Structure 1
């Protein structure tokens, strides 16, 4: 019994030692390189500077933070568009908003799948799922192109696309 206890303590100590060594080898992500490859470098730089958790983060942590931001953005946008769809009286605009609700739900689902890819360290899978999430937003905007939607929807979509673009760059570096 005592031998088992000692062996377990040694194993746990060794495991913790290797985890600490592995985590100390994680290099901070190179924000300049990432933003230089982003679709909108100035947005990327401002985004990175606006979040203190990003400073010194390694590539996977940076991907986690950025993906979380995209998920939050998509959820907020879904709530906003659902509210607009409920209140809208113009049939064409209501139809566009209702279509967007479905696209945003698909976007959120794709981001959830992207999170699974990120957790498993699957950079290409992360890239594919984030690209799919971006497509939902694009389809929504296409559906609203013939009507005059709430201007905040267009801005929110642009910001979302830029954040997702950062994730795509990061996924290619994983």
Structure 2
């Protein structure tokens, strides 16, 4: 009886759309209609900073997300979104630097942020190479490193009690990188050291305060 029950439970698990989708990922795999919603539910559960609506809206803005190769495909899409966001943020920074009324400290903060996001784009390019070669160890290292662009940029403003003009951009970039980390964790066999560590939990609590962007803005 125990064996029958175990087999029945295992069968239900294997038939879950998320598991079925990932068991057949490949160039020609077709995602279920709810693959984005299911994936974002998991992402939001694993990361207290990541907003579910932001995740869904971001992924669904890319048409290929509906036919992505499971978690693997969505991981690539999330990395591309992070790269695009960093590029857009650089454009915003360059535009703000044209403001002749900026005080010296804010100007230096923006210059630092410009360098940070420029480096982040290069790091995310390495991350893209890593995911395509299934090198999840380096992928986690590089995406985590890229995320520091957002936190370090915000720290610069915070140190002088300045209001960051890049708060929303930094929050979005951090979340997009976080999405990539969670999603690629779902296709890797690595221990969940990134999300289970106490340090990670404490750091996210700090980031929630630092990126105190209203939820209605995040979902827009």
**TM-score, normalised to structure 1's length?**
0.76
Q: 1:107 aligns with which of 120, 127, 141?
A: 120
Counterpart Cα distance in 2 of 1:68 and 1:48: 10
The structure that is helix-richer by fraction is 1
1:55 Cα shift? 0.7
Q: Is the 8 A contact 2:86 2:120 kept in 1?
A: yes
Greater shift in the superposed pair: 117-126 or 32-41: 32-41
Is 1:28–1:57's contact at 8 Å kept on the other side of the alignment?
Answer: yes
Q: Deviations over 1:64-93 (max 9, x none)?
A: 222111111101111221332343531111
Find out whether 1:40 has 2:51 as its counterpart.
Answer: yes
Q: Does the residue aligned with 1:149 lie in a helix, a strand or coil? A: coil
Aligned Cα root-mean-square deviation (Å): 2.1
Q: How many residues align?
A: 150
Distance 1:139 1:42, change over 3 A: same
C-alpha displacement at 1:37, in angstroms? 2.7
Q: Structure 1 residues 37 and 128, CA, compared in 2 at 3 Å: closer, same or farther? A: farther
Calculate the TM-score normalised by the size of structure 2: 0.61
Structure 2 spans left out of the alignment, 5+ residues: 1-25, 44-49, 188-220
Match of 2:85 in 1: 73
Instruction: Give the Cα–Cα distance (whole angstroms) in 2 for the partners of residues 128 and 27 of structure 1.
Output: 29
Q: Does 1:83 align with 2:95?
A: yes
Q: Can you list the C-alpha shifts for 1:127-173, whole angstroms capped at 9, x where unaligned?
A: 221111111111001111221332xx211211111211110111102
Partners in 2 of 1:165 and 1:78 — Cα distance? 20
**Residue equivalent to 2:61:** 50
